[in-house]
Amino acid sequence: MEKQYSIKEVSRKLGIPKDTLRYYDRIGIVSPSREHNSYRRYSKDDLVDLMNIQIMQYADFSLEEIKGKFQFHRMQSVDSAYYQEVAEFLDAKKAETRKKIAHLEKVSQLFDVAVETLRGFNHESDQRLAEFVREIYRDLHKKDPGITKEDCDGHQN
């Protein structure tokens, strides 16, 4: 007979709060078997599922995405169309992640320029910061926002 784990053991082994494990059971993302006393009993497959959920959450997948797309072992047979659907979903998630990375790189650059400006404040560094901020503003609006250098300079006083 396969070893079964209590909710307390799973919580301790995987570092997942017991309330979270109960929630996963309630929404049907991982549903352990129940003993005659209604206590949850987790199988090794359940533990693998929980570890995969932790990894997917680390990769910024929502529980809805995980529940909707990643139930491989629960299916008796999986057709190639399903694999293709999941692959396309992962491609889209990867593209979304790359956009976030680009955004965070830009934010990091903004911080670098702002810190440089504040540490060695002078007209030249202030102008670099102002230009960088205008560039970000243009990126945000994907068009010429109609704000000129003079408009920005007029608000610095």
- 10-residue mean pLDDT profile of the chain (157 residues): values are 92 96 94 91 93 92 86 65 86 93 92 85 81 84 58 50
Strand (E) or helix (H) holding 34: strand 33-34
Please report the pLDDT score of residue 7 as a whole number.
Answer: 95
> 42 and 10 in contact (C-beta within 8 Å)?
yes
Please report the pLDDT score of residue 157 as a whole number.
Answer: 39
Which residue blocks in the chain are alpha helix, DSSP H?
A: 7-14, 18-27, 44-58, 63-69, 80-119, 123-141, 149-154
* CA trace torsion 133, 122, 154, 156 (10° rounding): 80
Q: Under 8 Å CB-to-CB from 52, ≥6 apart: which residues? A: 70
> 130 and 149 in contact (C-beta within 8 Å)?
yes
Q: Which residues pair with 42 in a beta bridge?
A: 5
Please report the pLDDT score of residue 24 as a whole number.
Answer: 94
Longest dimension (CA), the chain: 78
CA distances from 93 to 60, 99, 105, 144, 149 (A): 9, 10, 18, 30, 38
Distance in angstroms (rounded) separating the CA atoms of residues 70 and 83: 10
Distance in angstroms (rounded) separating the CA atoms of residues 63 and 111: 32
Strand (E) or helix (H) holding 41: strand 40-41
